């Protein structure tokens, strides 16, 4: 089955073609970072308008790259949520209208399920059961995964997500938007041990996270030592986040007795986090899996792949809906 995937949940327009027999055939992505950087964050109305402009061109592009046309499609998958309501409506409307015109199914996909399953697009592929660390945008969660749609929430952030903490720290350091890559780049020139920052909830018996206190500690440190110490502050902040994420992931593996860890989402591209988890995996004899770096951020490939696994949820009536707020554990199992 050939599935076209559309991702428009926030500030990246992603389109991809996934074939259930041949794998990922083509994918393309347009990032709105340059547009939103002027405003210091995502402007929802601008994001929606840009998806409208970009998505049709990207669809033509991936079809051309694969040497296919619309009539070759068997289904169209789209991100139903969570995300920005207006941005989601663009993808949902386009996908559903396209599917209806072609007489093929439209498949609603959960954005976080797409991230969770994205390591399946690389080799080696993880097989359930495993623990998933999802660090995407406004989400930081630990899930037990026993199969597609068989998800148990183990822990989540009680306030800011890791990605939000990166963005807010970047603003405090005068780095602009988006924060993650900018903070990581600056941190590479700093001394991570010069300043001590808190590791919120790391010693807690739960698997929940909290990053609001860390952001406040960075603010206090910036006011105390000034902008000349920005590289050292960035390095100390990044180390604190890595300590928390890796520590909680290790605790989740111990609590579940599982030996496979999947890491997905934008923060999953952070090189220091990957290096730490790889080192822990060697030491404690578990396996860790990541998506390719190009598929860590929002992308159409993960939506096309998740859609191919959820053909049973397809719609044929031309109707559609979006779910800006949607818990991953609410998804029905497949098979």
Per-residue pLDDT for 312 more than 80? no
What's residue 142's pLDDT?
Answer: 98
Per-residue pLDDT for 138 more than 90? no
What's residue 98's pLDDT?
Answer: 97
227-278 per-position pLDDT tens digit:
899 999 999 999 999 999 999 999 999 999 999 999 999 999 999 999 999 9
Q: What share of the chain in percent tops pLDDT 70? A: 100
Cis (ω within 30 of 0) for the bond into 82?
Answer: yes
92-104 per-position pLDDT tens digit:
999 999 999 999 9
What's residue 112's pLDDT?
Answer: 96
3-state secondary structure labels for all residues of the chain: CEEEEEECCCCEEEEEEEECCCEEEEEEEEECHHHHHCCCCCCHHHHHHHHHHHHHHHHHHHHHHHCCCHHHCCEEEEEEECCCHHHHHHHHHHHHHHHHHHCCCEEEEEHHHHHHHHHHHCCCCCCCCEEEEEEECCEEEEEEEEECCEEEEEEEECCCCHHHHHHHHHHHCCCCCCHHHHHHHHHCCCCCCCCCCCCCCCCCCCCCECCHHHHHHHHHHHHHHCHHHHHHHHHHHHHHHHHHHHHHHHHHHHHHCCCEEEEECHHHHCHHHHHHHHHHHHHHCCEEECCCHHHCCCCHHHHHHHHHHCHHHCECCCCCCCCCCCCHHHCCCCC
Please give the model's pTM, rounded to 2 decimal places: 0.95
CA distance 3 to 109: 12
What's residue 111's pLDDT?
Answer: 97
**Confidence class for position 176, pLDDT limits 50, 70, 90:** confident
What average pLDDT does the structure give for the chain?
A: 95
Q: Which of 49-53, 77-81, 88-92, 136-140 has the lowest mean pLDDT?
A: 136-140
Per-residue pLDDT for 329 more than 80? yes
Burial of 332 (0-12, 13-18, 19+ CB in 10 A): exposed
Domains contained in the chain, CATH given: 2-116+295-330 (3.30.420.40), 127-290 (3.30.420.40)
Which residues on neighbouring strands pair with residue 264, listed in sequence order?
Answer: 134
**Confidence class for position 136, pLDDT limits 50, 70, 90:** confident
**Confidence class for position 14, pLDDT limits 50, 70, 90:** very high
**Confidence class for position 335, pLDDT limits 50, 70, 90:** confident
């Amino acid at each position: 089955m050939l599935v076209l995937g559309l991702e428009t949940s926030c500030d990246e327009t992603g389109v991809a073609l996934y074939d259930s027999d041949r794998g990922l055939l083509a994918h393309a992505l347009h990032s709105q970072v340059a547009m939103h950087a002027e405003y210091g964050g995502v402007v929802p109305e601008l994001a929606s308008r840009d998806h409208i402009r970009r998505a049709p061109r990207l669809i033509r592009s991936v079809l051309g790259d694969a040497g296919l046309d619309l009539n070759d499609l068997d289904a169209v998958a789209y991100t139903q949520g969570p995300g920005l309501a207006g941005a989601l409506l663009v993808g949902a409307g386009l996908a559903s209208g396209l599917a209806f015109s072609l007489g093929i199914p439209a498949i609603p996909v959960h954005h976080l399920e797409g991230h969770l399953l994205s390591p399946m697009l690389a080799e080696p592929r993880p097989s359930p059961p495993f623990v998933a660390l999802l660090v995407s945008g406004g989400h930081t969660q630990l899930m037990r995964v026993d199969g597609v749609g068989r998800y148990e929430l183990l822990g989540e952030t009680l306030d800011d997500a890791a990605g939000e903490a990166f963005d807010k720290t970047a603003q405090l350091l005068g780095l602009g938007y988006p924060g993650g890559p900018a903070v990581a780049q600056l941190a590479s020139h700093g001394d991570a041990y010069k300043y001590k920052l808190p590791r919120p909830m790391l010693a807690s018996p739960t698997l929940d996270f909290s990053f609001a206190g860390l952001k406040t500690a960075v603010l206090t440190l910036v006011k105390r030592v000034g902008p000349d110490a920005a590289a050292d502050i960035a390095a100390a902040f990044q180390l604190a986040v890595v300590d928390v994420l890796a520590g909680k992931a290790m605790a989740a593996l111990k609590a579940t007795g599982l030996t496979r860890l999947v890491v997905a989402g934008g923060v999953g591209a952070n090189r220091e986090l990957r290096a730490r988890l790889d080192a822990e995996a060697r030491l404690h004899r578990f396996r860790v899996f990541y998506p390719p770096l190009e598929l860590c951020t929002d992308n159409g490939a993960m939506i096309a792949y998740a859609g191919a696994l959820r053909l049973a949820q397809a719609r044929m009536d031309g109707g559609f809906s979006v779910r800006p707020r949607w818990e991953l554990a609410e998804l029905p199992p497949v098979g």
